[in-house]
Structure 1
Amino acid sequence: MALDYASLTTLPLSYASCSLGTPSNPPPLLERLDAISAAKYSAIELSFPDILSYGETVLGHPPDPKNYDELVKVASAIKEECAKRKLGIMMLQPFANFEAWKDGSEGRKDAWERARGWVRIMEAAGTDMLQVGSTDTPLQDLDLDRVVPDLRELCDMLSKHGFKVAYENWCWSSHAPDWKDVWRIVKEVDRDNIGLCLDTFQTAGGEWADPTTESGLLEDVSKIELIHRFQASLDELAKTIPKDKIYLLQVSDAYQVPGPLSKEPDEQGLRPRGRWSHNFRPLPYNGGYLPVVDVATAVLRTGFRGWFSYEVFDGGRDGDAKEQDIVAYAQAAVGVQERLMAECAGKKFPVKK
């Protein structure tokens, strides 16, 4: 059954604050907020790195990432700046490497210190949603039996404040790279205040594409088999995830990298899909090759009509872009949303030449 186009034209739009401007040279936060506001978005995803970078403006010195008294002041100031521009703060992100640390480890101690501190930041920023990315901590450092209990405990801590967890599959995660993985975990956690942060890049970038191959695609099966397998996965997503368990859909595409990336982690331990994610994610219809429309359509087929949030890390096709007209870029994303919704509903969209 075709999607009702009218229901897709009024979806709330957000933009991830960290992803406007080239990854290597992001403009100051207030300039990005001005551009997002001018393009008439309803809200931003507030990134922790932006709290740190704006902190020097508020405090007169760079904040310590663990000094939550200072970070709360910065978050409160950002909330005021957003309010001036009629922007809400839809979510705080990205909360990484949280779940499944072994008992008694320094990683576990740090994860819970961060969790308590980020709750304070959420209160100051006026947001009720925390994005948790499926951890990419090496498996040898994890106790996977702790994934569900840790997320339950986090949900219970957040529920005391009326907050919720948006759990996202990062396609380079060591234990939950696919939507099926995080959906299974969310069902096992079984709390009212946990749902999914789905993402066109994370879904297609893990199940369709591969930045370490010449073709840029998974090559464990033929192209025809890959198409059928991916569509079967999307059909399953559309039929099995309740619409109220999807909290948002993040939208971006991906460039095919100039040459296949090494399969080995880099010096920071980041896997190839993580490196790809950080610098090669343009807006849809702007040179990428992922089946973004297919992913978005599957999510909409669940009945979800919530936040579409643009999170792009556009370093250019060769990864060396230095500048970007952020006002034009934020506005272009609005046009992308209009075309994306039309194509999800099976309508032809007039492309300007």
Structure 2
Amino acid sequence: MALDPATLTTIPTSYASCSLGNPSDPPPLLDRLHAIATAGFSAIELSFPDIVSYGATVLGHEPDPKNYDELCKVAEAIRSECDKRKLGIMMLQPFANFEGWKEGSGGRKDAFERARGWTRIMHACGTRMLQVGSTDTPLDKLDLEKVVPDLRELCDMLKEHGCKVAYENWCWSTHAPDWKDVWKIVTEVDRPNIGLCLDTFQTAGGEWADPTTESGLLEDISKMDLIYRFQESLDNLAKTIPKEKIYLLQISDAYMVPEPFSNEADEQGLRPQGRWSHDFRPLPYNSGYLPVVDVTTAVLRTGFRGWFSYEVFDGGPEGKGKNIDLVAYAETASNVHKRLICECAGKKYTGPR
């Protein structure tokens, strides 16, 4: 069934605060907020590292990442700056390595302390949604029987504050790398305030592409079979997930890496897809190679018309960073959104690129 173009014009747009400028050396936060607002976005995803770094402006020093009294003061200041620019704060992100720690472990104690602290930050900055990425903690440190109960407990904690969980499959996760994995977990959690954060990079970067191969694609099957398998997965997504259980769609593409990555984790324990994510994620239509339109169309086929959020980490084709004009880049992202919507509806885009 073709998508009705008229229904796509109402989709609200957001831009992740951490996603403008050099991923390794981000420009000042207020410069990024100005560019995002100037380009016509309605809201931001507020990145926790931006709260920590902006603390130097508000407090005169960077707060400790666990000093929630100070972090809340900074979050309130960022909310005020967003209000000045008529930007909402759609979500706080990225809450990582939360679920599944073994009982009595230091990781488990830390996870729930962070959950309580981040809930305070959400209240301070005025957002009601927390992004939780499927953990990449090594499996030998996890008790997978605790994943669902942990997320239930988090949902119940947030429900007291009128907040919800957007659970995302990170394609380098050790236990839930695909959309099917996180959807199964969400259905088992069975709470009204948990849904999915879907992502074009995480979906195609896990089920279609592979930064460790010469072709840049998964090579466990033939190219033709890969196309068939991936389309089958997208068809399944479109038929399976209720639109109300999708809280947002994050959008980015990926560059082919200059040389295939090693299959081994790096010194920080980050797996190859995680390294790829950090520096090689441009806007769609800007030299990437993922089937972004296909993924987006599948999500729209569910009936979802909620937030599209642009989350890119564009270090250039070499992944070494590049200087950009922030306003021009944000305006390009706005035009990308228009083109993406147009192509998902099967129309030819004739506007600015």
Residue of structure 2 in register with 1:326 after alignment = 326
Displacement after TM superposition at 1:117 (Å): 0.1
Q: How does 1:154-233 map to 2 (within 5 A)?
A: 154-233=154-233
Cα root mean square deviation, aligned? 0.8
Unaligned runs of 5+ in 2: none
Q: Is the Cα–Cα contact under 8 Å of residues 16 and 47 in structure 1 kept in the other structure?
A: yes
Q: Deviations over 1:276-334 (max 9, x none)?
A: 00000000000000000000000000000000000000000001123111100100011
Residue of structure 1 in register with 2:119 after alignment = 119
Q: Is the Cα–Cα contact under 8 Å of residues 293 and 343 in structure 1 kept in the other structure?
A: yes
Q: Deviations over 1:108-167 (max 9, x none)?
A: 000000000000000000000000000000000000000000000000000000000000
Displacement after TM superposition at 1:352 (Å): 5.3
Residue of structure 1 in register with 2:139 after alignment = 139
Q: Deviations over 1:78-130 (max 9, x none)?
A: 00000000000000000000000000000000000000000000000000000
Counterpart check, 1:61 vs 2:61: yes
Q: Deviations over 1:17-42 (max 9, x none)?
A: 00110112210000000000101110
Q: Is the Cα–Cα contact under 8 Å of residues 25 and 323 in structure 1 kept in the other structure?
A: no
Displacement after TM superposition at 1:350 (Å): 2.2
Distance in 2 separating the partners of 1:352 and 1:274: 32
What percentage of aligned pairs have identical amino acids? 78
What is the TM-score when the length of structure 2 is the normalising length? 0.99
Distance in 2 separating the partners of 1:161 and 1:33: 27
Displacement after TM superposition at 1:6 (Å): 1.1
SS in 1 for 2:192: coil
Give the AA of the match of 1:344. C
Give the AA of the match of 2:258. P
Q: Is the Cα–Cα contact under 8 Å of residues 335 and 352 in structure 2 kept in the other structure?
A: no
SS in 1 for 2:249: strand
SS in 2 for 1:15: strand
Unaligned runs of 5+ in 1: none
Distance in 2 separating the partners of 1:337 and 1:272: 28
Displacement after TM superposition at 1:256 (Å): 0.3
Distance in 2 separating the partners of 1:26 and 1:78: 16
What is the TM-score when the length of structure 1 is the normalising length? 0.99
How many pairs align?
353
Counterpart check, 1:44 vs 2:7: no
Counterpart check, 1:13 vs 2:13: yes
Distance in 1 separating the partners of 2:123 and 2:12: 22
Q: Is the Cα–Cα contact under 8 Å of residues 25 and 322 in structure 1 kept in the other structure?
A: no
Distance in 2 separating the partners of 1:321 and 1:133: 25
Q: Is the Cα–Cα contact under 8 Å of residues 148 and 189 in structure 1 kept in the other structure?
A: yes
SS in 2 for 1:3: coil
Give the AA of the match of 1:128. R
